[in-house]
Amino acid sequence: MAVNRVILALSAVAILVAPSAAATGTGTTFTVLQLNICHGGMAGCYRGDAVMHKAAEVIRLSKPQVLSVNEACSGDIDRLRPAMGPARALFAEARNLDGTPVLCRGGDGRYGNIIMVSAGFAGTTEESGIHAAQYTAADGIGELRSWACLPAARLSACTTHLSSDNAPTALAQCRELISRAARHPRPVFVAGDLNLRGQGVRDCDRGGFSRRGDGNVQYVFASDDVSFVRTDDIDMAGTTDHPGLLITGSR
C-alpha cells in the first residue's frame, strides 16, 4: 500500500491532519502521534517550555488515539492532557546508574516517557519498567532506558526511548519491547525514538508487525491487522530536534 508523507506546519488552518478514530464501512481508523520533546533540560536540544505549547497545539489538531512522548517530564502529563482530552496516561521514569530516578531540570519532576490512550480505547492494565539490556558506559546522560505499555481489549500501546550511544543495545531493547507487545491484545502500536536507522531498525522487525518512520530514528510499529494509510511528519518549529510523527492506520 502506498503511503503518503507530507511535512505539516500545523496552524489554525491545518486541519488536514488524519481523522480521529471512527467506525467506517471497512473498520476503524486510528491515529498515533509520536513526539520527542527534549524537555528534560539535560540535552542541547532543550528549548524550555516553548515545546510544551507546540506539543499541545499539535495534539489538539491531530486528535490522536495514541500519544507517545519521549524525553518528557512527569509533570508534562497534566500539561498535555487537556489537549489530548479524556485519556489514560502512564509515565515510565528513566533511572540513574545507581537506580535513583533521573530528574528534569527546573523542578518539572522525573525524566522519562509518556504513553496516553484515549479513554474510549483504554483499559485499566498498565506495565512499565527498565529495559533488560542497558549500555551503561556513557549512554546519553547516563540513564537506564525505560518503556511503558497500556494493554487493553480494544487497543494496546507502548512507548520507549532507546539507547543513543550503542546500536546493539538499542536493537536488543527494541526486540525486547516488540516481543512484549506481541503478547498484548490487538491492535497493538509501539512508538518511540528508537535511535536505530537502516539495517538496525530492520533487524528489529518480527513477524506480526509492520512499521513506518520519520526517515530518521522515530518509528511506529503496528500489528499486522492494521493497514497503514498515511504518514505525516509535523514541523515542530524549532522547539525540539525531532519532527512529530503522525501515523494513520485502519483495521
Sign of CA dihedral 17, 18, 20, 22: positive
For the chain, the residue count is: 251
| Gap between the terminal Cα atoms of the chain | 14
Which among 101, 125, 105 is positioned nearest to 115, based on CA atoms? 125
What structural domains and CATH numbers belong to the chain? 4-9+28-250 (3.60.10.10)
Decide: 193 and 36 in contact? Cβ < 8 Å: yes
In whole angstroms, give the CA distance from residue 55 to residue 134.
Answer: 29
Residue 83 phi/psi, 5-degree rounding, is -70, -35
Over 70: is that where the pLDDT of 12 sits?
no
Grid look-up 509520536 returns 34
Sign of CA dihedral 143, 88, 150, 45: negative
Q: What is the pLDDT of residues 58-71, one digit of tens each?
A: 999 999 999 999 99
Q: What is the pLDDT of residues 69-115, one digit of tens each?
A: 999 999 999 999 999 999 999 999 999 999 999 999 888 899 999 99
Quick one: pLDDT at residue 7? 53
Q: What is the pLDDT of residues 125-177, one digit of tens each?
A: 999 999 999 998 878 888 999 999 999 999 999 999 999 999 999 999 999 99
